[in-house]
Amino acid sequence: MPETSNITHAVTVDSPMSPPAWALCELALIRQQSEAIQQFYDHYFDDRGYLLCVPRWGGDDGPDDAAENFANWPELHALGGDDHVLELYKKAWDGHLLQYTEAKTRDVEFARDGMYFKEFPTMFDWMHNGEGFTAFFLQGLSDPYDKKYQDRTRRFAGFYMGEDSIADNYIPEHRVIKSMFNGSRGPMLRKATGLDWAGDPIEVEGRFKLGHGERNYQEMVSHFKDYNDVSGDHPLNMGVTTMAINAFMIQGEDKYYSWAKDYLDAWVERTEANNGIIPTNIGLDGTIGGTCDGKWYGGVYGWGFSTIVPQTGNIAHRPYFVYRAYLSFGNGLLLTGDQTYVDTWRGVLEKVNENRVEKNGQTLYPRMHGDQGWYDYQPEPMTAGELEIYYWSMKPADLERLPMEGWVAFLEGENADYPLEALQKDMELVRARIAGMRQDTTSADTRLSDDMNGLNPAAVDSLIQLMLGGLPTRHSGHPLHCRFRYFDPAGQRAGMPEDVAALVESLSHDEATLTLINTNQVSSRTVVVQGGAYAEHQINSVSCQSNVELINHTFFTLHLKPGCGGKLTIKMDRYANRPTLTFPWDR
């Protein structure tokens, strides 16, 4: 690695600043989460990295839920968490892959030789796959040079790029992933059954409390009895592009860029061809509705997917694709800088809401579409992804659609107390989760993999918003979108140096206000500030007080004297560069 002195574009801050409450709370939250994760790991994992639970296959409880128990750990490390956080994540991830390769089903045919094959789900949908791989997909923020990470990322992307003879998931001439159920053993081209989704029979009564409220195994199967139409392409499959983008960001290999762009472009074109509303089934020949009798609204988790709740008999509407598809269009923006992807999802919302009706003096908006047309009308417009649309576009018209509250209000100068309140709330969340862990007296054979998810002490949402000016990653399986990221040149690692706190106070399409402070009153600190999570933003200039430094680079170095801090105004071109995982001093 080059010496710190070789990093150019330096700015020095030497104005004393008393540490504000938000800065001290921010540093304490990072430190305490790092400590809490060690305790959580010691309680729920063994020395191999295996989760201490009953490993199962299925959509109710399965491998994806097990992996969510260490979700957000890579982001915490990339924010400045202790190095042991990254080490524990890697140990848990390696253990998880082996645990679910060894775990086998008896009745579910495609997992009888292992729920994972080649370290990847044999075949499942990309709402669940994205949740299960969300931590791994963000490992590159801190650990892009790890050989196992690189090998796995390329192997997984290859399952969809014709590089694996068993995983025959893709038809390149039609840009179609063959099924909503896909993976390392290829696609499911038949109707799925409740057994495929629910997994093998299991004792429930008196032993487990299921997340969907089922009281016995038969209700588990009944929950999924209508989850049949999986053949053909589906918007959830756009989540696959996260793997290709990660593979591209390792070394900039064009084949990954081209594949991801081509596949996302296919969905833009399909949406345009379907009068601006994204279809939820595409046939193997590329036709809209091609494996659902021509119905563009067909498919599991699609526009017309309404089912019966077995324990109540009530109808449940589950167009769950809407909670993932917009994030995948964000993949297109990150990869190319082209706002067309954002425009596409904005257009979907507008087209759906155009079908509003007036009833008894009230305006109602649909959420679903079936053979009878639009249905499931509700008093509020469809808004899925509106915050992300504004964040990506920075257009005033998109801001007007958002409620002026919380983080958005703070960025607009209307909620000055938000940073401290949000950080304190997350500190309480960490305390409550560790308290819940200590009160948990269950044994491993009475725990399903989903049971501990609510106790995972990694609470990074407010840190991502406030430190990075970014969108919380949650558990979706998509990249991080943020305005800034930080690196510690002294420690040669990603994350904020010790004692340094950051607050992004405002954002516009070409500017951001960022306060950085060194809370150490004795020693100086140096931090590298990067434009975006993956150097996708070009930093043009940095202003501090009356000084203006021209940067014209993806990062700059900031020297903070003891006890000093300052408010920086940073001019930038957003999404101007192809993204990369390479650390600043290696570019």
pLDDT in tens, 386-422: 999 999 999 999 999 999 999 999 999 999 999 999 9
Average pLDDT over residues 92-105: 98
DSSP β-ladder status, 170-171 and 120-121 = unpaired
β-bridge partners, 515:
503, 567
Regarding pTM above 0.95, the answer is yes
Residue 124: is its pLDDT beyond 90?
A: yes
What are the start-end ranges of the H helices in 1-105? 21-44, 63-67, 73-79, 83-102
Under DSSP, the state recorded for 537 is: S
Residue whose tokens read 């379907």:
274
Burial state string for 162-171 with b = 16 or more CB within 10 A and e = fewer than 16: eebeebebbb
Would you say residue 377 has pLDDT above 90? yes
Q: What share of the chain in percent tops pLDDT 90?
A: 96
The reported pLDDT for the residue numbered 7 is 53
Alpha-helical (H) ranges within 440-569 are: 461-468
Give the pLDDT band (50/70/90) at residue 2. very low
pLDDT (tens digit per residue) in 499-545: 999 999 999 999 999 999 999 999 999 999 999 999 999 999 999 98
> b/e for 34-61, b at 16 or more Cβ within 10 A?
bbbbeebbeebbeeebbbebbbbbbbbb
Are 23 and 463 in contact by the 8 Å Cβ rule? The answer is no
On average, the pLDDT of the chain sits at 96
- 436, pLDDT greater than 90: yes
| Mean pLDDT, rounded, for 355-378 | 97
Quick check: helix, strand or coil at residue 555? strand
State the chain's maximal CA–CA distance in angstroms.
Answer: 71
- Secondary structure E strands in 271-333: 306-308, 315-317
In this prediction, residues 558-582 reach a mean pLDDT of 98
Burial grade of 149 (CB within 10 A; 0-12, 13-18, 19 or more): buried
Residue showing tokens 């706190």: 501
b/e code 497-519 from CB counts within 10 Å (16+ = b): bbbbbbbbbebeeebbbbbbbbb
Q: Which two tokens stand for residue 146?
A: 């790890």
Measure the CA–CA gap between 105 and 83, rounded to whole angstroms: 36
Which whole number is the average pLDDT over 430-448? Answer: 97
Which conformational region is residue 2 in: left (phi greater than 0), alpha (psi within -120 to 50 degrees), or beta? beta
Q: Looking at residue 210, what is its pLDDT? A: 87
> What's the pLDDT score for residue 3?
33
Q: Is the pLDDT of residue 8 over 80?
A: no
**54 φ, ψ (degrees, to nearest 5):** -95, 105
Q: Are 65 and 448 in contact (CB under 8 A)?
A: yes
Residue 523 corresponds to which amino acid? S
**Residue 461: partners with Cβ closer than 8 Å, 6 or more residues away:** 426, 472, 474
Q: What is the pLDDT averaged over residues 132-159?
A: 98
What is the distance between the alpha carbons of residues 45 and 574, in angstroms, rounded to a whole number? 41
pLDDT at residue 356, as a whole number: 98
Average pLDDT, integer, range 445-452: 95
Q: How far, CA to CA in Å, does 240 sit from each of 109, 158, 261, 264, 328? A: 24, 11, 12, 10, 9
Cα 108 to chain centroid, rounded: 29
Q: What are the pLDDT digits (tens) for 166-186? A: 999 999 999 999 999 999 999
Residue 4 has pLDDT above 50, yes or no: no
Nearest-angstrom CA–CA distance, 191 and 195: 11
Q: Are 284 and 290 in contact (CB under 8 A)?
A: yes
Token pair in block for residue 236: 């959830």
Query: Which has the closest alpha carbon to 464: 9, 26, 7, 21?
Result: 26
- What is the CATH code for 484-586? 2.60.40.1180
The strand pairing partners of 105, in sequence order, are none
Average pLDDT over residues 86-114: 98
Q: Where are the domains of the chain?
A: 20-158+193-216+407-472, 227-402, 484-586
pLDDT higher than 60, residue 336? yes
Q: What angle do CA 392, 395, 401 make, to 5 degrees?
A: 95
